């Protein structure tokens, strides 16, 4: 990955946006390691994309090993290294070297069960290797691995933090800002669209910078908000499930199959539903929907199932 994401990736703990508690904990781990040669714990970085998991793993390695960190830091991704033969052929030999190693495994929750079992055994016998497993959903890891790791929970960045980073990039790239209301609205929409994902915010920004170092604000303003969600819910509540189903399917496709964006829109749409008894039922079901989607490869099916619940909600007994 290149572009703004890599160009402006923090190189030390002081440059990291958000996640201050995690940064403080990692500083303490580095301090103990340097003072007492204390063995670092295996770590579990839990959280959504774009919240700094990879960045902090790299910063940790740089704090420990300086300019030579690449000799000690090795990054893998479960999408490329997920089979048991990959684990045994690539990870196992590295874990047995005499030199200290940090093995960062991104999307580790995508490993197969057999691969996780093989990885667990390697972690148990690795005297000089520290494993950092990055996951979106910790429940997809076997308990034997989770219990051997110190967990660190990453949160989506808040809007001021995203905005601060966007301003840093705009200044660094010497973008010619016109300071019009439309330009301000476009930057605000980038922050909204990112949903706390800094990587996504920087990628959107990079796409709208023209060759003349200006912002093509119209391309951002044309991003369609998920404005049909409320119509879909009201249609289901009124008894027309088929139309509601078609509406939510259209919303999902128009959002670019961004399920998080659709769920956020559902949450906001439920807020004004009356009576309160139905509103509370829908909030409860929405929580269950988000949980189910974490384990589903077909989120659209889960959305349609939710709309079926909305359809029957008014008829449920109190």
CA angle, residues 219, 222, 228, in degrees to nearest 5: 155
Same domain, residue pair 36 and 143: yes
Positive or negative: CA dihedral 282, 237, 299, 18: negative
Helix (H) or strand (E) holding 176: none
Give yes or no: residues 138 and 178 share one domain: no
* 17 and 145 both lie in a single domain: yes
Tell me, what CATH number does 236's domain have? 1.20.272.10
Same domain, 193 and 250: no
Same domain, 77 and 128: yes
Q: How far is CA 215 from the centre of its chain?
A: 26
For residues 162, 168, 174 and 179, what is the CA-based torsion angle, rounded to 10 degrees? 50
Same domain membership, residue 41 and residue 116? yes
Nearest Cα neighbor of 163 from 220, 205, 210 is: 205
Q: Which domain holds residue 191?
A: 159-221
Same domain for 145 and 33, yes or no, is yes
Q: Is there a single domain that holds both residue 9 and residue 111?
A: yes
Distance in angstroms (rounded) separating the CA atoms of residues 83 and 290: 28
Tens-level pLDDT at each residue, the chain (318 residues): 458 999 999 999 999 988 999 999 999 999 999 998 778 999 999 998 899 999 999 999 999 999 999 999 999 887 666 567 777 777 777 777 778 899 999 989 888 888 899 899 999 888 889 999 999 889 889 999 999 999 999 999 999 999 999 999 999 999 988 888 888 988 988 998 888 889 989 998 998 898 889 888 887 766 655 568 889 999 999 999 999 999 999 888 877 787 887 888 898 889 888 888 999 999 999 999 988 887 777 889 999 999 999 999 998 865
pTM score:
0.72
Counted domains in the chain: 3
Cis status of the peptide bond prior to 172, with omega within 30 of 0 = no
Strand boundaries in the chain, DSSP class E: 42-46, 73-77, 101-106, 129-135, 149-153
Are 19 and 105 members of one domain?
A: yes
The neighbouring-strand residues paired with 149 are: 42
Are 186 and 242 in the same domain?
Answer: no
Q: Are 270 and 137 in the same domain?
A: no
Question: 20-36 and 53-65 are packed helices; what angle lies between their axes, rounded to 10 degrees?
Answer: 30
């Amino acid at each position: 990955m290149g572009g703004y994401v890599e160009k402006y990736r923090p190189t030390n703990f002081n440059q990291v946006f958000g996640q201050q508690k995690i940064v403080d904990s990692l500083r303490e781990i580095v301090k103990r390691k340097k003072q007492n040669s204390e063995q670092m714990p295996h770590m579990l970085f839990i959280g959504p994309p774009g919240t700094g998991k990879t960045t902090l793993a790299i910063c940790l390695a740089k704090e420990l090993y300086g300019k030579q960190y690449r000799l000690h830091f090795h990054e893998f991704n479960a999408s490329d290294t997920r089979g048991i033969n990959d684990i045994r052929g690539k990870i196992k030999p590295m874990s047995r070297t005499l030199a200290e190693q940090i093995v960062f495994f991104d999307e580790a929750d995508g490993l197969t069960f057999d691969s996780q079992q093989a990885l667990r055994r390697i972690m148990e016998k690795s005297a000089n290797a520290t494993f950092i497993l990055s996951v979106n959903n910790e429940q997809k890891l076997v308990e034997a691995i989770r219990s051997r790791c110190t967990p660190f929970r990453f949160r989506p960045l808040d809007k001021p933090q995203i905005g601060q980073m966007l301003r840093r990039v705009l200044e660094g790239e010497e973008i010619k800002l016109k300071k019009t209301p439309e330009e301000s609205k476009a930057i605000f929409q980038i922050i909204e669209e990112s949903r706390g994902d800094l990587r996504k915010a920087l990628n959107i920004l990079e796409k709208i910078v023209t060759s003349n170092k200006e912002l093509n604000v119209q391309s951002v303003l044309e991003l369609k908000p998920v404005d049909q969600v409320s119509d879909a819910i009201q249609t289901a509540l009124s008894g027309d499930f088929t139309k509601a189903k078609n509406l939510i399917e259209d919303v999902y496709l128009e959002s670019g199959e961004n399920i998080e964006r659709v769920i956020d829109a559902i949450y906001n749409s439920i807020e004004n539903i009356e009576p309160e008894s139905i509103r509370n039922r829908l909030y409860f079901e929405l929580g269950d929907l988000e949980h189910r989607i974490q384990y589903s490869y077909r989120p659209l099916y889960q959305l349609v199932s939710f709309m079926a619940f909305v359809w029957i909600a008014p008829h449920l007994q109190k």
